[in-house]
Amino acid sequence: MNLPRIIACTTRYLYLYKRSLPRLMEVFYWPLLDLLVWGFVSTYLSGYKGTLPDFVSFFVGALILWDILFRCQQGISVSFLEDMWSRNLLNIFVSPLSPLEYVVSLLVISLVKLVLASSVMVAVAWLLYSFNIFTFGVLLVPLVANLIIMGWSVGIITTAIILRYGQETEVLAWGIAFLFQPVSAVFYPVSVLPPAIRAVARFVPSSHVFEGMRRIIRDGTLPVEELAWAFALNAAYICFAIIFFSWNFREVKKKGLLSKVGE
Amino acid sequence: METVVEARGLTKEFNGFRAVDNISFDILRGEIVGLLGPNGAGKTTTLHMLLGLTTPTAGDIRILGRNLEKDREEILSRVNFSSSYVSLPYSLTVWENLSVFAGLYGVKRPGEKLKGLIKTFEIEDIKDSATRKLSSGQITRVSLAKSLLNDPEVLFLDEPTSSLDPDMADRTRKLLKDIKEKKGLSILYTSHNMKEMEEMCDRIIFLDRGKILAEGRPSEVMREFKGASLEEVFLKIARKEKTCFDGADG
Ligand SMILES: Nc1ncnc2c1ncn2[C@@H]1O[C@H](COP(=O)(O)OP(=O)(O)O)[C@@H](O)[C@H]1O
Ligand SMILES: [Mg+2]
Q: What is the ipTM of this complex?
A: 0.90
A26 contacts in chain B (CB < 8 Å): none
By CB neighbour count within 10 A (0-12 exposed, 13-18 middle, 19+ buried), where does A174 fall? Answer: middle
- Residue A251 resides in a domain: yes
Mean pLDDT of B189-208: 93
- Please tell me the pTM assigned to this model: 0.91
**Looking at the domain assignment, is residue A46 inside a domain?**
no
For residue B247, pLDDT over 50 is answered with no
pLDDT of B127 reads 94
B20 lines ligand 1 (CB under 6 A): no
- Give the pLDDT confidence score for residue A263 in this predicted structure: 59
The answer as to whether A183 is a domain residue is: yes
Closest CA to A75 of A138, A131, A27: A27
**Taken in order A188, A191, A192, A195, is the CA torsion positive or negative?**
positive
The C-alpha atoms of residue A70 and residue A236 are separated, in whole angstroms, by 19
Question: Is A12 within the bounds of a domain?
Answer: no
Interface of B with A in 156-185 (CB under 8 A): none
Chain B: nearest CA to A173, how far in angstroms? 19
Mark yes or no for CB contact B104/A20 under 8 Å: no
With respect to residue A83, please indicate whether it lies within any of the assigned structural domains.
Answer: yes
A193-220 confidence digits (pLDDT tens): 999 999 999 999 999 999 999 888 888 8
Nearest CA in chain A to B155: A94
Strongest mean pLDDT among A83-87, A222-226, A243-247: A243-247
pLDDT score, position B249 = 40
Does B14 sit in the ligand 1 pocket, CB within 6 Å?
yes
> Does the C-beta of A256 come closer than 6 Å to ligand 1?
yes
CA dihedral B154, B156, B161, B164 (to 10 degrees): -80
What pLDDT, on the 0 to 100 scale, is given for residue A52? 60
Residue B243's pLDDT band (cuts 50, 70, 90): low
Residue B193 has pLDDT above 80, yes or no: yes
The domain containing residue A158 runs over which residues? 57-260
pLDDT for the residue numbered A50 = 62
Q: Who has greater pLDDT, A23 or A148?
A: A148
pLDDT, mean of residues A116-128: 89
B17 and chain A in contact, CB less than 8 A: no
What mean pLDDT do residues B199-211 have?
94
Whether residue A5 lies within 8 A of chain B, CB to CB, comes out as yes
> What confidence tier does B104 reach under pLDDT thresholds 50, 70, 90?
very high
In a domain, A158, yes or no: yes
Q: Best substitution site from A90, A164, A254, A259 to test ligand 1's pocket, by max atoms within 8 Å of Cβ?
A: A259
- For residue B85 and ligand 1, the question of a CB distance below 6 A is answered with no
Strands (E) across chain B are located at 3-14, 17-28, 32-36, 58-63, 66-67, 79-83, 154-158, 186-190, 203-208, 211-216
Cα separation, B27 vs B50, in Å, equals 12
Residue A29 lies in a domain: no
CA of A97: which chain B residue's CA is closest? Answer: B104
Higher pLDDT, B242 or A32: A32
Residue in A19, A250, A259 closest to B53 by CB = A259
**How many structural domains are present in chain A?**
1
- Does A22 contact B at CB distance below 8 Å? no
CB contact under 8 A, A258 and B73: no
Q: Is A247 exposed, middle or buried (0-12, 13-18, 19+ CB in 10 A)?
A: exposed
Q: How far is CA B168 from CA A146, A213, B34, B144, B173, in A?
A: 55, 64, 20, 12, 9
CA angle in degrees (0–180, nearest 5) for B161-B162-B163: 95
Q: A203 CA to middle of ligand 1, Å? A: 43
Residue nearest (by alpha carbon) to ligand 1 atom 18 = B44
Residue with CA nearest ligand 1 atom 17: B42
- pLDDT higher at A168 or B55: B55
3-state secondary structure of A70: helix
Residue A1 domain-assigned (yes or no) = no
CA of residue B42 to ligand 1 center, whole Å: 6
Q: What are the residues whose beta carbon lies below 5 Å from ligand 2 (ion)?
A: B 43-44
* pLDDT of res. A220: 82
